[in-house]
Amino acid sequence: MATFTTRDGTTLFYKDWGDGPVISFSHGWPLSADAWDPQVFHLASHGFRCIAHDRRGHGRSSQPWGGNDMDTYADDLAQLFEHLDVKDVMMVGHSTGGGEVARYIGRHGTSRVSRAVLMGAVPPIMVQTPDNPGGLPLSVFDGFREAYLADRAQFFLDVASGPFFGFNRPGAKVSQGQIRSWWEQGMQSGFKNAYDCIKAFSETDFTEDLRKFDVPTLIIHGDDDQIVPIDAAARRSVELVPNATLKVYPGGSHSLGDTSREQLNADLLAFARS
């Protein structure tokens, strides 16, 4: 099991599969690197070196009391890149992981980065503010926290069974396996870490980070994403990232890596080879 210890003593687990140009994967809340396995396997099988880590407080990484914020997540990833001495990395981030990619570029630049992919990503900011009237009201995230504290296991089951994969839509093909996998990954996360991360992914403003992107960027989003609605996320992000390309998956859920797996795998491979 590959691990790395950050400067503040946090141990991060990571997968390092394949050989070739490097692609990194940052997962969503409250999951782990396992959420990316279909994409990591596909791209590593096509000549790429794929690195996917468990964010601090998630998966097999340690569960520190502090540092559950976007700045620290980005700094952890920067230290991992330095430890592995990787360059020309294509960074891929889903949901909260998309925020991690944005904050990494905002804080650390693109000296080690060749291109970026934001998929179902939380930037520029999820919560409703005077500058972001199309965001979700803070009461939505307060509701998340309330449900989390009341019965975390049931809350995770409800999210996975419904809006995350779009299994609450009429005619949806429900996969109990995907629900169980999501739930088990979520339950691996540290209790406080995942709680704190709700604030991190919903209230962090990535606007200035996005403006600092200077590498080819692909923004992928499902237009039926019930977790991160497309209008306040991808459609705004593409206006902020210089020369970004937006690819919309019609009817696509929040979890495109599962519900639109073949299309996403093909799109990531094509972008990596471009």
Domain interval for residue 260: 3-273
Residue 254: active-site member: yes
Catalytic residue among 26, 61, 95, 255: 95
Can you give the pLDDT of all 274 residues of the chain as single tens digits?
Answer: 799 999 999 999 999 999 999 999 999 999 999 999 999 999 999 999 999 999 999 999 999 999 999 999 999 999 999 999 999 999 999 999 999 999 999 999 999 999 999 999 999 999 999 989 999 999 999 999 999 999 999 999 999 999 999 999 999 999 999 999 999 999 999 999 999 999 999 999 999 999 999 999 999 999 999 999 999 999 999 999 998 999 999 999 999 999 999 999 999 999 999 9
| Cβ neighbours of residue 267 closer than 8 Å, sequence gap 6 or more | 218, 220, 247
Whole-number Å distance between alpha carbons of 209 and 102 = 6
Total structural domains in the chain? 1
Phi then psi dihedrals of residue 234, to 5 deg: -60, -40
Please give the C-alpha separations between residue 54 and each of 76, 150, 157, 172, in angstroms, as whole numbers: 11, 26, 21, 30
Catalytic residue among 27, 42, 94, 254: 254
Please give the C-alpha separations between residue 181 and each of 35, 39, 146, in angstroms, as whole numbers: 9, 16, 23
Tokens of 151: 């019965």
- Please give the pLDDT value at position 78: 98
Q: Report the DSSP beta bridge partners of residue 118.
A: 93, 219
Tokens of 256: 């495109």
CB 68 within 8 A of CB 56: yes
pLDDT in tens, 73-125: 999 999 999 999 999 999 999 999 999 999 999 999 999 999 999 999 999 99
- Please give the pLDDT value at position 188: 98
- Please give the pLDDT value at position 35: 98
Nearest to 169 by CA among 259, 87, 230: 259
- Please give the pLDDT value at position 227: 97
CATH code of residue 72: 3.40.50.1820
Catalytic residue among 225, 255, 260, 267: 225
DSSP assignment, residue 129?
A: B
Residue 95: active-site member: yes
Whole-number Å distance between alpha carbons of 267 and 220 = 9
- Please give the pLDDT value at position 1: 72
